[in-house]
Amino acid sequence: MKYNTLGTTDLKVSEICLGTMTYGEQNSEKEGHEQLNYAIEHGVNFIDTAEMYSVPGRKETAHSTEKIIGSWLGKRKDRDKVIIGTKITGPSEGITWIRKPLDFSPASIKTALNGSLKRLQTDYIDLYQLHWPERKANFFGKRSYIHDANDPWVDNIYEVLNTLNDQIKAGKIRHIGISNETPYGVLRYLEESAKNGLPRVVSIQNPYSLLNRTFEVGLAEMAIKQKIGLLAYSPLAFGLLTGKYHQKIDKPSDRLNLYPDKMERYRSEQCYNATARYLEIAQANNMSLTQMALAYINTRPFLTSNIIGATTIEQLKENISSTEYTISEEMEKAIEAVQNEIPNPAP
């Protein structure tokens, strides 16, 4: 396992991060613990979760993932060896049962953070992330920014950073990160940190896969030059980039089948066609599409950690094994050819 420095910190995080949003929905507590144990035994030291997980968000399963991780973490004697990242939920009309109000006000940050600490059975969070912006922007499948003059958001970046700084001073947070952000958002956080001597964001968790390389347009340069590394989520595009749907070996319990009304960004003809091309490249090079799709992400110079998720141990083994594969120059040229013909079909 390779380890990368998390932003400007002294933390070394594994190139593969274990995503856990299925715990409490598709995975039981026992299965979650099995995955956590296997990942740790195979060099993964970075675990990602969120207060709103499991996914899809439901009132009946709200906070379930953190609780499952907590029942595992609370029994261990090596808390200092495990790097835990969690997130505070941003505004959303569909999941108001998480917390009211869903914002990043000082009171909300304190409430959300204390709730996560209790569920995770820990005294501190290594990486506390803002799950998505409070303002209206182009994230979650939106290609373009459409300005809304009626957006009620008033710039509160200073207040957010100041509140998080208080929690860092209290020992409850070590470092902070952002998620589903745009170059404008990154710029504002950097500006306020520099101007006011406030904590600096050390990571950005955004979607990145063979079907969605939009991060490269405006954020890759920022990530490299400002040392705000990418934590890539949905690297297998909700399972589409495993190739199982094309090979007709998918099951009713697989995500795109289980949640037919979710993740529309992965259901287009362009996504299907691009995936078919990528599958051909992988097969021609004696790799599974899963291994190729993840190995490609692992090669990106702006990557800090690749967040993989699995519902079975077999899937987890294959995902982690991606660190053993390399992308040849010939494969990269073939991948670029597909990207040029069918660019970013799943924004």
Q: What dotted CATH number matches 3-236+297-325?
A: 3.20.20.100
> pTM here?
0.97
Q: 1 with 31: CB under 8 angstroms?
A: no
- Euclidean distance between CA atoms 188 and 130, whole angstroms: 14
Q: What is the pLDDT along the chain (347 residues), one digit of tens a residue?
A: 999 999 999 999 999 999 999 999 999 999 999 999 999 999 999 999 999 999 999 999 999 999 999 999 999 999 999 999 999 999 998 899 999 999 999 999 999 999 999 999 999 999 999 999 999 999 998 889 999 999 999 999 999 999 999 999 999 999 999 999 999 999 999 999 999 999 999 999 999 999 999 999 999 999 999 999 999 999 999 999 999 999 999 889 888 888 877 778 888 999 999 999 999 999 999 999 999 999 999 999 999 999 999 999 999 999 999 999 999 999 999 999 999 999 999 98
Q: How many other C-beta atoms are found inside a 10 Å radius of the C-beta of residue 325? A: 20
Active-site residue flag, 296: no
Q: What's at 294, amino acid-wise?
A: L
Angle of CA points 39, 44, 332, to nearest 5°? 105
Catalytic residue among 23, 53, 266, 296: 53
Q: How many other C-beta atoms are found inside a 10 Å radius of the C-beta of residue 101? A: 10
Q: 99 with 58: CB under 8 angstroms?
A: no
